[in-house]
Chains A and B, each alone.
Chain A
Amino acid sequence: MTHLTTQGNIKKTAAEKAFPALYDKIAPGLPGGKAVRRLRNKAMEDFKASGLPGRGVEAWKYTNLRQLLTDSYPPAVPAGGGVLMNTDEAASHGAFSTLERATMVFVDGHYRPELSDISAIGDKARIMTLAQALETEDTRALDTLVSAADADPLINLTLAMMRDGAMVSIPDGVRIKTPLHFVHINRTGASCANTTRHIVHVGKGAALKIFQTHAGSENATYFTNTLFIAQIGNEGQLTRVKVQGDSLSAFHFGHLRAELGEKAKLRDFTLNLGGHVVRSEVDVALAGNAADAHVSGAYLLSGKQHCDTSIMMDHQRPGGTSQQQFRGVVDDGAQGIFQGKVRVAPDAQKSDGRQMVRALLLSERASHFAKPELEIFADDVQCAHGATAGELDDEALFFLRARGIPEPRAKALLITGFIGEALDDITDLDIRDRLEELTQNWLDRRSGETS
C-alpha cells in the first residue's frame, strides 16, 4: 500500500529520530558496494522525510506506528564465534519441521549456511543469499530492489537496513516438488532488529512452494521486518504458507509483494499467532491476463496483541481472478484489523475479485475492525466482499456438550471449524494437519490459562 504523503512539520518521535541515527552508525558495516549504498541512502532520506506512518495515513489508519513504536532497535549482532544453535535444534524449528523440505535458516536476520540444507532442491534452482547478491552487485537483485522502492516508510526502512535474505530463481518450466523453508529465528533475546528481504523469481511455467516461519525467544522484545518480493512468470505458480510465531513482545512486519504474469497463480496463506504489534501485508499485482491469486489467512490473538492484516489486489489486466479469505479469533483485550482492497484498472475487464473476513470475538474486551475497499474503474467485473464479527454460537456449543463433549473441547471444535473455512485452498493434507495442530495448541494453551 503506497499512498503516503510527507508529514510536514510534525514533531519527530523518538523512534523517527533514532532510526536515521542508527543507520548512520551501522551503514558502513552493511553488505554491498557503492550502488547498494546509494540505494540505502536514498531510502533513508525518504524515511526521514515521511517519518513513521501515523493517524493521517489511510493505509496505516488502525496501526499508528508513531504511537506504537517508541524506539529504534539496533541490528542484531552476527553470531560470531560462539555456536548459538546446533543443526538439530535449527532443523526442528518452525511449524513444518516434520515435513520433507529444503531449508534456509536465518538467525537474527543472518543466513546460517551450516544450519541450512538446500540439497533437496540441488541445482534445479539458482539460490544465493541477499548478502552475496549485494556484495557482488548482482544486477537482477538491484533492479528488483529499485523497482520495489516506494513511499512506504517500512519498505524504505527495510531497504536502508537490509542485511540478508534469500535470492531464489526457478528456471522456466522447472516445477520443484520439495518445499523450500525460510526459517526465521530470533535468538539473542535482547532488544534488536533483523531486517530481511527475500527475492523469489518463478520462471514461466515453473512452480515453487515456500514455507516461511518466524519464531523468537519467549518475551523478547525485538523488531523484525521482512519484505518478500515475488515475481511469477507466465503460467508459473508460487505457493507460500507462512506461520508467524514471534515472541508476544515483538514487533513483526511482514510484507509479501507479488507480481503475476499471464495465467500465473499465487496461493498464499498466513497464520499469525505471535507478536505484540503485527502488520501482515500482501500486495498482489495481477499484471498479466487471467492471473489468479488466492490470499488467505487466520489470526489467533490474545492478551494485548495488535494484528493488522492489509491486503491489496491490483487487477491490472483483463480476466484476472482474486480471492481473499480471512478468519480472526480475538480473545482478551486483543485487537484484530483487516483491510482488504480490490482495485480494478480501466482495461481489466472480466475481473473477478472476492473477499471475505469473519471474526470471532471470545471476550467482551476483544475488538475487530474490517475495512473492505473496492476501487473499480472497469464496467464488466464481478466483485463481492463481506465482513462479519460475532461470538461463539451458544446453540452449537450446547449441542456439542449435550453429546458429552466438555465445554473447552466443544469450544475448540467450533473454533477450529471456524478457522478451517480459511484453509480451503490448502490441498496438501500434511500442511493442513500442521496448521490445525497449531490452532489446537493455541486453544489448549488458552484453556490452560483460564481453567
Chain B
Amino acid sequence: MKSLMKIENLHAEVGGKEILKGINLNIAPGQVHAIMGPNGSGKSTLSNVLAGRDDYVVTKGSVSFMGENLLEMAPEERAAAGIFLAFQYPLEIPGVATMTFLKTAINAQRKTRGEDELSTPAFMRFVREKSALLGVKDEMLKRPLNVGFSGGEKKRNEILQMALLEPAFCILDETDSGLDIDALKVVSEGVNALRDKERSMLVITHYQRLLDYIVPDFVHVLSNGRVVRSGGKDLALELEKSGYAEYGADAA
C-alpha cells in the first residue's frame, strides 16, 4: 500500500512518564482515519508528537511522512511539509493580530516551499472567501488571535487556518467538542471540502456523530497508549453503545 504517513512502534513520554506505548498506524493518501478512546489514553499526546512539540520525548519507534523522517524535523518544517494540527485547546495570543498571524504563516510556508509570497490583496481575497465559507466573522479577524473568542469560535478559526494552509495531512483533535449543532455541520462541510485523493486526515473525537459528517475509512481505538482495536466506520457505532470498558480503560 502507498503510504503518506507511517507510524511504527512509537513510544513517547512527557514529564518522565511514558504515555505512548508502541503505536502503529499506516495512513495512505486520501484516507481518513478516526481515533477514539477514553480520556487520558494519549490521543492529544500523539497529535502533539506528530506536530513536533519538544516537551514530548520520543523514546522509541519512527514516523515517516512522505518518505522523510518526520521526527527529525522542527515544528515549522513539519508545517511546511504539510502537517497541520487543529488543537484541542487553541491558544489565545494577545498582541498578535489574527490577520498578521495568518499572513505570516501562509507566506512563511510558501517561502519554505520555494513559492512566491502572496500579495496583500490576494491574501485578503483568499481569507474573505474561506472565512465566509466557515462562518468566521470579519469582526473576529480584527481581534488578536483567539482573544475573547468563544470555544466554538476558536475551533472554527482552527479550521479556517487549515483551509488557508491547505496541508497534506490534517490532524483534528476534538474539533467537534464545543461546537453547536449548526457549527458542527458548517465545520464538517469545511473539512469535507478539503478531502481529496492526496490529502489524509487523522480525526480524533469522542462522538460518533462527527463521523456521520466526516465519514472515516478506518476507526481505531486508543487505550493506555496503544491502538487496541481497528475497524471500519461501523466500529464507532459499536463503541457508542458499548463504551470502552472492554478495552481496559483504566484510570491511567
* Complex contact B93–A402 (CB within 8 A): no
* Complex contact B74–A401 (CB within 8 A): yes
Chain B's nearest CB lies how many Å from the CB of A300?
Answer: 15
* Complex contact B93–A404 (CB within 8 A): no
Chain A's nearest CB lies how many Å from the CB of B108?
Answer: 5
Which residues on A sit within 8 Å (CB–CB) of B87? Answer: 399
Q: CB of A444 within 8 A of chain B?
A: no
Contact of B52 among A400, A402, A418 (CB under 8 A): A402
Contact of B79 among A404, A416, A419 (CB under 8 A): A404
Chain A's nearest CB lies how many Å from the CB of B102?
Answer: 9
Question: Number of residues in B with C-beta < 8 Å to the partner?
Answer: 29
Contact of A406 among B76, B90, B165 (CB under 8 A): B76
Which residues on B sit within 8 Å (CB–CB) of A401? Answer: 52, 74-76, 79
Which residues on A sit within 8 Å (CB–CB) of B79? Answer: 401-404
Task: Select the residue from A403, A410, A413 with max chain B CB neighbours within 10 A.
Answer: A403
Which residues on A sit within 8 Å (CB–CB) of B93? Answer: 396, 399-400, 414, 417
Q: CB of A79 within 8 A of chain B?
A: no
With the chains together, A148 CA to B79 CA distance in Å? Answer: 60
* Complex contact A404–B108 (CB within 8 A): yes
Which residues on A sit within 8 Å (CB–CB) of B76? Answer: 401-402, 404-407, 410
Chain B, residues 67-111, CB within 8 Å of chain A (1/0): the string is: 000000011101110000101001101111000110011001100
Which residues on A sit within 8 Å (CB–CB) of B91? Answer: 395-396, 399
* Nearest B-chain residue to A417, judged by Cβ: B95
* Complex contact B104–A409 (CB within 8 A): yes
Q: CB of A421 within 8 A of chain B?
A: yes
Q: CB of A377 within 8 A of chain B?
A: no
Q: CB of B3 within 8 A of chain A?
A: no
* Nearest A-chain residue to B167, judged by Cβ: A404
* Complex contact A403–B53 (CB within 8 A): no
With the chains together, A338 CA to B96 CA distance in Å? Answer: 25
Q: CB of B144 within 8 A of chain A?
A: yes
Q: CB of A420 within 8 A of chain B?
A: yes
Chain A, residues 54-96, CB within 8 Å of chain B (1/0): the string is: 0000000000000000000000000000000000000000000
With the chains together, A152 CA to B79 CA distance in Å? Answer: 57
* Complex contact B95–A416 (CB within 8 A): yes
* Complex contact A414–B96 (CB within 8 A): yes
Q: CB of B112 within 8 A of chain A?
A: yes
Chain B's nearest CB lies how many Å from the CB of A188?
Answer: 40
* Complex contact A414–B95 (CB within 8 A): yes
Interface extent on A, as a size class?
20 to 34
* Complex contact B94–A405 (CB within 8 A): no
Chain B's nearest CB lies how many Å from the CB of A276?
Answer: 29
* Nearest B-chain residue to A421, judged by Cβ: B95
For window 28-69 of A, CB contacts with B under 8 Å fall at none
Contact of B85 among A394, A402, A413, A414 (CB under 8 A): A402
Q: CB of B31 within 8 A of chain A?
A: no
Which residues on B sit within 8 Å (CB–CB) of A420? Answer: 95
Which residues on A sit within 8 Å (CB–CB) of B101? Answer: 400, 403, 413
For window 381-400 of A, CB contacts with B under 8 Å fall at 394-396, 398-400
* Complex contact B112–A404 (CB within 8 A): yes
Which residues on A sit within 8 Å (CB–CB) of B78? Answer: 402
Which residues on B sit within 8 Å (CB–CB) of A418? Answer: 95
With the chains together, A296 CA to B79 CA distance in Å? Answer: 38
* Nearest B-chain residue to A327, judged by Cβ: B95
Task: Select the residue from A398, A399, A413 with max chain B CB neighbours within 10 A.
Answer: A399
Which residues on A sit within 8 Å (CB–CB) of B105? Answer: 400, 403-405
Which residues on A sit within 8 Å (CB–CB) of B34? Answer: none
Which residues on A sit within 8 Å (CB–CB) of B52? Answer: 401-402
With the chains together, A407 CA to B52 CA distance in Å? Answer: 13
* Nearest A-chain residue to B81, judged by Cβ: A404
Chain B, residues 48-72, CB within 8 Å of chain A (1/0): the string is: 0001111100000000000000000
With the chains together, A13 CA to B70 CA distance in Å? Answer: 63
* Nearest B-chain residue to A418, judged by Cβ: B95
Q: CB of B223 within 8 A of chain A?
A: no
Contact of B80 among A394, A400, A404 (CB under 8 A): A404
Chain B's nearest CB lies how many Å from the CB of A408?
Answer: 10
With the chains together, A76 CA to B53 CA distance in Å? Answer: 56
* Nearest B-chain residue to A413, judged by Cβ: B96
A-B contact pairs, 23 of them (CB 8 A): A398-B53, A398-B54, A398-B75, A399-B87, A399-B93, A400-B96, A401-B74, A401-B75, A401-B76, A402-B52, A403-B79, A403-B101, A404-B165, A406-B108, A407-B76, A409-B104, A410-B76, A413-B100, A414-B93, A416-B95, A417-B93, A417-B94, A421-B95
Having A414-B93, A420-B95, one finds 12 other A-B pairs with CB under 8 Å, namely: A398-B75, A399-B87, A399-B93, A402-B51, A402-B79, A403-B165, A404-B79, A404-B109, A410-B76, A416-B96, A417-B144, A421-B94
